[in-house]
Amino acid sequence: MVNRASLPRLMAILAIVALLALGGCMPAAPGAPAAPAPVKAGVKTLTIAQDTDPGTADPQLTTEEYFLPLNLYDRLVEAVTTTPGKSELQPGLAEKWDVTPDGLKYTFHLRKGAKFHNGDILTADDVIFTFDRMLDPAIKALNTDFLDMIAGATARMDGKATSTSGLKKIDDNTVEITLAAPFAPFLANLATPAGSIFSKKYVEKIGKDFGIKPVGTGPFKLDSWTYNSELQLSAFDDYFRGRPKFDQLIMKIVPEAQTQALMFRKGELDAFDLDYARSQIPEFKKDAQWKDRIVSGPRVGTYYMSINSKIPPFDNPKVREAVMYAIDRQTLIDKLYYGTGIPAKGILAPGLAGYNPDLPGFKYDPEKAKALLKEAGFPNGIEMTLNQTVDSPSTLKMNEALQAMLAQVGIKAEIKQMDSAAWSGTRKEGKLGSYTSSWSADFNDPDNFIYTFFAPRNAVARSWNYENKAVQDQLEKARVMTDMQARYKLYQEIEKTIVYQDFAFVPLFHLEHLFVVHPKVKNFKVSWNGWSNMPYYGIEIVE
C-alpha cells in the first residue's frame, strides 16, 4: 500500500525511470547548474577524473575538496609553483601589499577591474565580506583557523560581535587587515583555497545555494554539475590574467581506479592521477606508449607513525628511540609504493619552506633497536597497539608491514580497527595509542606542520601528548618572528629536538605524486604541494 504523502516522490522516481528508458540523463543535483551539454567539435577540452563528488564549491565549507575552489576563484595572494615541489607567494587579486614593521597591519592594494563570472567588479567590500563570512558563526565554516589571528575574529566567532574589527575598507581598491598579534605565516594562509574571494552582492543574493551555483573571478566558470557523475567548466573570457589556453575542463566522477585507468587508455580521460591507482604505476612505467608521458612532483607531505608519550612504555624516550631504528623505511616505499618516494628524516617535507635536507635520518638497525629496548629495561620486548579506522585498506597494509618489522626487534604490535567516530573521539581526548597517517602542506610554512602537531593544545588533540615547555615556547616565538630566515633556523632546531632528542615523532617517508598525460596535454605541472586537487590554468591543449 502506497502512502499518499509519498505519491509525489514516487511519481518523480517513475518520471526519471521513463527518462532513462528513452535514453535521457539523470538530472543534476537540486538547484545545481543544468546537466552537461555534449562537447562541441573543435572545442579544446581537458577531461580528468576523481573518485568522489566535490559536494560543494564553497571553500569555507570543506577541508578536503579543492578542485572547484582552485579553478573557480582567486585569492589575494597566490602560491605559485616555480620548480617541482617549490613555490613562492605572488600577487593575486592584490597587486601588492604593505606590512607594518611590527607585523600587525597588512594593507592590500586590489587589482582594478578584475571581474567575477557574473560581471561584478571586485572591490574591497567583496574581500571584507568574504573574510567576515568565514568568521560568522552562522556559516559554521570549517576553515576559521586560517583567519582567526585577525583582530576581532574571536569575538566574531563567539557571536559577541556582528563584524570583524580587524577588517577595514580604506577605499574601493584598498583593504587593511589588522592582526591581534603578529603571525608570520599570514600571507601563506591567505594563499590557500580557504582564502578564495567571493562576490558580496552575488552571495547575498544566492544565499545557501552558493555552494552549488558558485561565481568567482577564477580562470574557469561552472557550466553544469550532475551530482556523482560529471562537472563541466568553461574558460572565463574576461579572466584578468588572460583567457585559459583551452576551452573546457571536464571532471568525471569515477569511483573505481581500474575504470579510470581503462578510460585513460581508451582516450576518455586526458590525464590520470596515479595516486588513485598506485598498483598501475609499474605497468605505466614499462609501457612504451606511456612511460615518457608520466609527470611527477613531490607531494609536500610526510607519512609518519605517532607516539603517545603518556602511554607506557612510550613514556620512556629509549623505547621511542628504539622504534626509530626498527623500521625499514626504504622497504615500505618499495613494497607499498613501488619506489616512488624517499625515506623521511624529520617532520618537514622537501619543498616546504624551512626544510632541512641535512638531517641524518634513522638507518634501519634492528640490533640497535633491541639494544635500546634492553637499556630501557625491556630485554624481552614490549607490546603496543597500532590504531586505525575500519575503512582504510591502504592503512591496514602499512600497519601490517610495520607490525612485521617491529616484531623482528621484540615489539609485538596489535592492529586495532575502530569506527571513524571512535577513532577521532579517542584521539581528540589524547587517549589514542600509535597510528600511521600523513600530513600534506596546506600553506608553505613550517608552522603548518610543527605547530599543528606539537603546540600544547594540538599535542593533546592529536594524541601525541608531547610535553617540552622550552620547545612549545619556541613555537609561539616562531609564529611572531618577522625575520623569515631566522624563523626557519629556529624551526629546524625545534625539529631536531622533537625528533632526535625527544624521539617524539616517527618519520616514515615522503612520496612522489605521479600523473600520466596524453600527448595533446602540454605544460602539465603537479601543483607545488602535490595535491590531487590542483589548478589547471596554464595547461595548453594541442589537438
For residue 482, what pLDDT is reported?
86
Contact 87, 444 (CB under 8 A): yes
How many CB atoms are closer than 10 A to CB 8?
9
| Burial of 195 per CB tally in 10 Å (0-12, 13-18, 19+) | buried
Helix (H, G, I), strand (E, B) or coil at 254: coil
Distances (CA, A) of 455 to 146, 303, 420, 429, 473: 16, 19, 24, 15, 9
Write down the H helix ranges in 219-270: 257-265
CA angle 152, 485, 498 (to 5 degrees): 80
Alpha helix positions (H), 176-328? 186-190, 200-206, 257-265, 281-286, 317-325
CA 56 to CA 42: how far, in whole Å? 30
User: Rounded CA gap, 119 and 127, in Å?
Assistant: 16
Q: How crowded is residue 434: how many other Cβ atoms within 10 Å of its Cβ?
A: 21
Strands (E) located in 86-242? 87-91, 94-99, 105-110, 167-171, 174-178, 220-226, 230-235
Residue-level pLDDT, tens digit, the chain, 543 residues: 333 333 333 333 333 333 333 333 333 544 455 555 565 668 999 999 999 999 999 999 999 899 999 999 999 999 987 777 678 899 999 999 999 999 999 999 999 999 999 999 999 999 999 999 999 999 999 999 999 999 999 999 999 999 999 999 999 999 999 999 999 999 999 999 999 999 999 999 999 999 999 999 999 999 999 999 999 999 999 999 999 999 999 999 999 999 999 999 999 999 999 998 888 999 999 999 999 999 999 999 999 999 999 999 999 999 999 999 999 999 999 999 999 999 999 999 999 999 999 999 999 999 999 999 999 999 999 999 999 999 899 999 999 999 999 999 999 999 999 999 999 999 999 999 999 999 999 999 999 999 999 999 999 999 999 999 999 999 999 999 989 999 999 999 999 999 999 999 999 999 999 999 999 999 999 999 999 999 999 999 998
Contact status, residue 45 vs residue 247, Cβ threshold 8 Å = yes
Residue type, 98: D
Contacts of 467 (CB under 8 A, 6+ apart): 309, 459
Q: What radius of gyration, in Å, describes the C-alpha atoms of the chain?
A: 25
Q: What is the pLDDT of residue 40?
A: 64
- Cell numbers for 396, please give them: 591496514
DSSP-derived secondary structure letter, 499: I
Q: Which of 374, 264, 368 is nearest to 324 (CA)?
A: 368
C-alpha–C-alpha distance, residues 526 and 180, integer Å: 36
By the 8 A CB rule, do 212 and 200 touch?
no
Side-chain-facing half-sphere of 104: CA atoms under 13 Å:
5
With CA atoms as reference, report the closest residue to 513 among 298, 260, 352, 264.
Answer: 298
What gap in Å lies between CA 48 and CA 276, rounded to an integer? 12
Question: What is the rounded distance in angstroms from the CA atom of residue 80 to the CA atom of residue 69?
Answer: 15
Q: What single string gives the DSSP state of each residue in 373-418? A: HHHTT-TT-EEEEEEEETT-HHHHHHHHHHHHHHHTTTEEEEEEEE
- DSSP characters for 408-450? TTTEEEEEEEE-HHHHHHHHHTT---EEEEEEE-SSSSTHHHH
Three-class DSSP category at 425: helix
Whole-number pLDDT of residue 14: 35
CB 434 within 8 A of CB 387: yes
Alpha-carbon distances of 89 from 82, 174, 445, 523, rounded to whole Å: 10, 19, 11, 20
| φ, ψ dihedrals at 294, nearest 5° | -90, 125
List the one residue out of 500, 440, 450, 453 whose CA is nearest residue 477: 450
Q: What is the pLDDT of residue 6?
A: 38
Sheet holding 105-110, edge to edge: 94-99, 105-110, 174-178, 167-171
Q: For residue 184, what pLDDT is reported?
A: 94
Q: Which amino acid is at 182?
A: P
Cβ proximity of 306 and 437 under 8 Å = yes
Domains detected in the chain = 73-211 (3.90.76.10), 301-511 (3.10.105.10)
Peptide bond preceding 313: is omega within 30 degrees of 0, i.e. cis?
yes
